Amino acid sequence: MNFYNEHDPKAAAWLRELIAAKLIPDGVVDERSITEIKANELTHYTQCHFFAGIGGWSLALALAGWPATRPVWTGSCPCQPFSNAGKGLAQADERHLWPAFFNLIRECRPECVIGEQVESAIGKGWLDGIQTDMEGEGYALGSVVLGAHSLGAPHIRQRLFWVADSKHAEWRAELQEHGDAHRRDGFGGRGELGRLADAGHSESSGRELHTEGSDRGARDELTPYGADCDGVGESNKSGPQGHGRLDGLNDSQGRQGKERHHPEAGFWSNFDIIPCRDGKARRIESGTFPLVNGIPGGVVPGSDPSVSEAQATAESRVARLRGYGNAIVPVVASEFLIAYLEIKSEP
C-alpha cells in the first residue's frame, strides 16, 4: 500500500482516478498539507509520495523497473518560491515546504528519498540547503540537471533531480571489498570494475553501453502500471488521465527487450509545428493547439449536472493544464532512476 500526499483537491481526485484505473499502485490519497502529517502515520506504507501531483513519480518508478515492493519516498517540493516566474522569495516564501518534508524524513528515516525541483533553485541555495540537511542525518546525496529535450521532447523543461541514500556506507564497503578481490586476483582494476570505466568497451557487466545520451531511454510506448492494457493508449495519443503506455517492461531494470530508438521516432514523435513571434517554428504536443483560443482535444466537461457544459469544460481544461504544468516528465525521471538502480546494482 502506498501513500500519496497532495494538497490540491483536483490533483488528488486525479490521483484517485489513476489508482482506480490501475495506472499507478494502489494507495491512500491524503489531501492534508504536509505540515499536518505525523511521522507515526507513515510507518506501514511501502512507498510514500509527497507533493504527489498527478502521480508522475509513481509512473517514473514503474518505467524504471523499480519493484513495487521496494520502499522509497519521493517529493517534488513546490517550485514557486524558486521559479524564475515567481516572486523570488525563495526560502522566505511560505510555500517553501522542504523543512516540513525534511522533518518527516528525519523522524522516519527511509532508506532512499528521491526528488525534483526547478533548475533555478540551485542558484538560490535550495540544493545546498537540502544537501546540508540530509548529510547531517547520515545520507549521501547526489543530483543532476536533466532536460526533457535531451530525450527528444519538444520543450526544454530543465529540472534538478536528486537522490539521498542512507545505506551508502554499506554499499561503499561492498564496492571496496569487490575491488580488493579483483586486485588480489591479479586483475589490477581491469576486471569488471575496469571495464565499467572503459567507454570504448562494448560491454559493462553484460549490458550494452550507449554512449549517445540523446538516445538514452527513448521509448516507443507507455503502459499502465502492472497491466498489459492493449489499446489503453498509444505512442501518438495520451492515455487515460494523461498517461500513455510503455510496453516491454520485462527485465530487472525496466528496459525494453528491443533496442532503443531515436527520440524523434519514439514517445514524442507525434507533434505539431507552430510559428512563434520570434520568427522561429517550434514543436508542441499534437492536439494541444490552440491553448488559448479554443479547447484542446480530449478535454471533456465535468460530471456535475449543476454546472454548465461551457463552465465545466473550462474548469476541466484549467485543471489539466495545471496538472500537466506542475508534473515531472516521467520518462526523464525514469532515466535518473535507472542510473541510480544501475549504480546500486554494482558490482
C-alpha cell at 110: 527511509
DSSP per residue, 192-210: HHHHHT-TT-SEETTEE--
Sorted by where each begins, the domain ranges of the chain are: 2-169+329-345, 271-325
pTM beyond cutoff 0.75: no
The residue among 5 and 188 whose pLDDT is bigger is: 5
Buried b / exposed e over 237-258, threshold 16 CB at 10 Å, is ebbbbbbbbbbebeeeebbbee
Beta carbons within 8 Å of 246's beta carbon, 6+ residues apart: 62, 63, 219, 221, 222, 223, 256
Containing 112, the helix (H) or strand (E) segment is strand 112-118
Helices (H) and strands (E) in the chain, counts: 8, 11
Angle at 128 between CA 124 and CA 132, to 5 degrees: 145
- Determine the straight-line distance between the first and last CA of the chain, rounded to whole angstroms: 31
Confidence of residue 291 (pLDDT cuts 50, 70, 90): low
The residue whose grid cell reads 488528488 is 12
Q: Out of 168-177, 207-216, 294-303, which region has the weakest mean confidence (pLDDT)?
A: 207-216
The residue among 303 and 60 whose pLDDT is bigger is: 60
C-alpha cell at 265: 521516432
pLDDT at 321: 80
Q: Which of 34, 13, 85, 88 is nearest to 241 (CA)?
A: 13
The residue among 176 and 271 whose pLDDT is bigger is: 271
Show the 3-state SS of 58-104. Answer: HHHHHHHCCCCCCCEEEECCCCCCCCCCCCCCHHHCCCCCHHHHHHH
C-alpha 259 chain-centroid distance: 22
- Give the number of other Cβ atoms within 10 Å of residue 199's Cβ: 8
The residue among 85 and 171 whose pLDDT is bigger is: 85
Beta carbons within 8 Å of 344's beta carbon, 6+ residues apart: 165, 171
Q: Average pLDDT of 294-313?
A: 60
Q: pLDDT, tens digit, for every residue of 51-108?
A: 999 999 999 999 999 999 999 999 999 998 888 887 888 898 899 999 999 999 999 9
Confidence of residue 180 (pLDDT cuts 50, 70, 90): low
Q: Is the peptide bond before 347 cis (omega within 30 degrees of 0)?
A: yes
CATH class held by domain 2-169+329-345? alpha beta
Mean pLDDT of the chain: 74
Q: 3-class DSSP state for residue 113?
A: strand
Q: Average pLDDT of 12-37?
A: 96
- Give the number of other Cβ atoms within 10 Å of residue 184's Cβ: 8
C-alpha cell at 59: 509512473
Cβ(162)–Cβ(145) below 8 Å? no
Q: Average pLDDT of 181-190?
A: 43
Q: 3-class DSSP state for residue 41?
A: helix
Q: Is the pLDDT of residue 228 over 80?
A: no
C-alpha cell at 222: 507507455
Confidence of residue 299 (pLDDT cuts 50, 70, 90): low
User: CA 310 to CA 299: how far, in whole Å?
Assistant: 11
Confidence of residue 174 (pLDDT cuts 50, 70, 90): low
User: CA 104 to CA 1: how far, in whole Å?
Assistant: 18
Confidence of residue 177 (pLDDT cuts 50, 70, 90): low
Q: 3-class DSSP state for residue 31?
A: coil
